[in-house]
Structure 1
Amino acid sequence: MTTLTLELLTKEAFAPFGDVIQIDGSEWFPINNGTTKRYHNLGRVEVTGEGGLPIISMCRGDAFQLPVEVKMLERHPLGSQAFIPSSGAPFIVVVAPNGADDKPDESQLKGFIVRGDQGVNYHRGTWHHPLVTLGCEGDFIVVDRGGPGHNCDEVQLSQVYLIESAPALA
């Protein structure tokens, strides 16, 4: 078993895998006669394939405690997938780039701890672990692709990766 060290989620570190959705540090402009700040275009919704359309859903993730084992990853070849916490729950993100054999490149596996006021938008085709809400149950808004076609590939990893600890969230 190999230990996977988590790092704090930043826009720069996550850029190869998708978008960080957060207000802090993002540009905004006023709307509604100046009573609202709009943080515009924080993530791009990608939808491909015949009959595909962007949809908005909600999900509730079970509470996980450390240590957490990472044994598999999934990807969505026909669209992006965003998870935006609506209950302030922190969560763990594990991602990997595509390898030469069209499987995850495990040598570049990365793990992030995500604050409860941040979300992520996985680019279309990004290998990622299913939702892991840390410490408490969490509600999430999900923006992804609906419609016909196969849009979820899953792969078992060559070994188990163990997440034993997480950096403190500010």
Structure 2
Amino acid sequence: MQLFVLTFVASLIASVVAAPTPSTCPSSVVSTDESLEIIRTRKVASSTSPFSQGIVSGDHLYISGMLPVSPDTGKIVGEGDFAAQTRAVLNNVQAVVEAAGSNLGKVVKVNAYLTDLKNFETFNMVYAEVFGNHKPARSALNVPSILMGADIEIEAVVRL
């Protein structure tokens, strides 16, 4: 048993010693691989954060978490009106999908984040209106908060 403990402690110390430090981390700027395409549209509010609205990899588009933000004002749409926020965020998802040359009928997976599950029925109603007969795979999670005080955020995977 003592040998096991000594071996474990020695491996733990070795991993800490070998861990990269800020001075040994890569200092060059990472560039987007040429096999990926960054998708951006002015129909969705721009952000100063370091992420893309969407990235195409192969025959799929990966959409970042979209908020119900107006591209004109940069502010949350429909504060206090969950249905309006859901429509706004789905409009933003649709704008990125269309900017990549696809359509909502090719959405494969949706991840929805809601700050209050009491809004789940309203979410389902608006979601069904937007997607019609198409039913992508979906997760809906309750989260404590979302950026900018939004009540909903949606990310998606879309086939091109």
TM-score class, shorter-chain normalisation, is under 0.3
Bigger share in helix: 2
Instruction: State TM-score, norm by structure 2.
Output: 0.24
Bigger share in strand: 1
Instruction: State TM-score, norm by structure 1.
Output: 0.23
Identify which of structures 1 and 2 has the higher relative contact order when contacts are C-alpha pairs closer than 8 Å and 6+ apart.
1
